[in-house]
């Protein structure tokens, strides 16, 4: 009993130490806690890539910055890995200048890992990153008529489009040449660009958690076909492709952190009630 009473005034430094241990351990060694798949949000994005044929082209938009990369980068990596596994070709654009470099760096490193595992992910053939293009909505609209000219004919590495085999099949951005779009969005500009200028395309979204409720309205209206919701969505996607990665690790850490908080709150309340009862008895 005396031991439990001490939880009423536990040293905050001990709490920080406990939290640090239970947050770091799952990242270093994933626990693999049970995780259900959201059939309305995440599953349609997975089914979209599963329905495509090898050689089909899809486009993603890296509409995010450093502050949201911890949620959206695991989503992007899981989705990109799925595309490479299926032989689907990926073209990466960015409405955010910071998103262009963040996405390129992440996929460049990931593509090397996939190549080492025997999965074809060669730059210029399996994926290309034209990246950020200035000009806003009008630039994106003009990509539908002449993709090369609208993008300035160069990618993030400075390669001319004529040197990239993948882009030989993407002179125009139409529902026939591009089999769907996914926007990894942290805000504006982001999703509205596609609902306004690309209404005939199948649109999917990788969303930060705080935006999912609003984007779900677009899902119900049919403007968006599927949503990867926050970090949990990244973990779900990794589970679907049977390649657990950073998303699963961070979800394990998050779950363990929540569990420790609940336990400490319960123990703190028990300690307080015991201490209060003993004080009344002495009085």
**At residue 134, does pLDDT exceed 90?**
no
Q: Which residues contact 55 (CB under 8 A, 6 or more apart)?
A: 87, 88, 89
Q: Which residues contact 118 (CB under 8 A, 6 or more apart)?
A: none
Give a yes or no: residue 59 inside a domain. Answer: yes
Percent of the chain at pLDDT exceeding 70: 85
Q: What is the pLDDT confidence band of residue 183, given thresholds at 50, 70 and 90?
A: very high
Mean pLDDT for 260-272 is 74
Give a yes or no: residue 23 inside a domain. Answer: yes
168 and 141 within one domain = yes
Q: State residue 253's pLDDT score.
A: 64
User: Per the structure, how many domains does the chain have?
Assistant: 2
- 202-221 confidence digits (pLDDT tens): 999 999 989 999 899 999 99
Q: State residue 70's pLDDT score.
A: 86
Closest listed residue to residue 228, CA positions, set 12, 16, 64: 64
Mean pLDDT for 64-91 is 94
164 Rama class: left (phi>0) / alpha (psi -120 to 50) / beta: beta
- Give the separation between CA 69 and CA 186, rounded to whole angstroms: 9
**At residue 56, does pLDDT exceed 90?**
yes
**The pTM is what?**
0.82
The whole domain housing 56 covers 39-244
What's the DSSP call for residue 174?
Answer: -
Output the domain CATH number for residue 63.
3.40.50
């Amino acid at each position: 009993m005396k031991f439990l009473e001490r939880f009423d005034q536990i040293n905050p430094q001990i709490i920080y130490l406990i939290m640090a241990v239970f947050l770091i351990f799952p990242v270093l060694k994933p626990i693999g806690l049970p995780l259900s798949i959201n059939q309305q949000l995440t599953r349609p994005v997975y089914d979209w890539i599963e329905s495509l044929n090898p050689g089909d082209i899809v486009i993603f938009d890296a509409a995010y910055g450093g502050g949201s990369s911890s949620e959206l980068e695991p989503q992007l990596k899981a989705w990109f890995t799925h595309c490479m596994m299926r032989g689907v070709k990926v073209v990466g654009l960015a409405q955010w200048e910071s998103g262009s470099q963040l996405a390129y760096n992440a996929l460049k490193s990931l593509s090397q890992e996939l190549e080492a595992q025997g999965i074809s992910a060669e730059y210029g053939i399996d994926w290309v990153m034209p990246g950020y293009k200035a000009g806003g909505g009008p630039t994106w609209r003009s990509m539908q008529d002449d993709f090369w000219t609208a993008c300035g004919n160069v990618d993030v590495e400075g390669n001319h489009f004529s040197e990239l085999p993948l882009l030989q099949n993407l002179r125009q951005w139409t529902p026939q040449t591009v089999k769907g779009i996914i926007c990894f969005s942290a805000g504006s500009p982001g999703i509205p660009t596609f609902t306004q200028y690309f209404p005939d395309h199948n649109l999917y979204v990788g969303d930060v958690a705080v935006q999912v409720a609003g984007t779900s309205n677009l899902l119900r209206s049919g403007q968006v076909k599927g949503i990867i919701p926050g970090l949990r969505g990244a973990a779900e996607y990794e589970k679907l492709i049977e390649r657990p990665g950073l998303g699963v690790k961070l979800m394990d850490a998050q779950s363990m952190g929540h569990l420790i908080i609940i336990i400490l709150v319960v123990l703190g309340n028990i300690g307080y009630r015991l201490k209060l009862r003993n004080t009344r008895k002495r009085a």
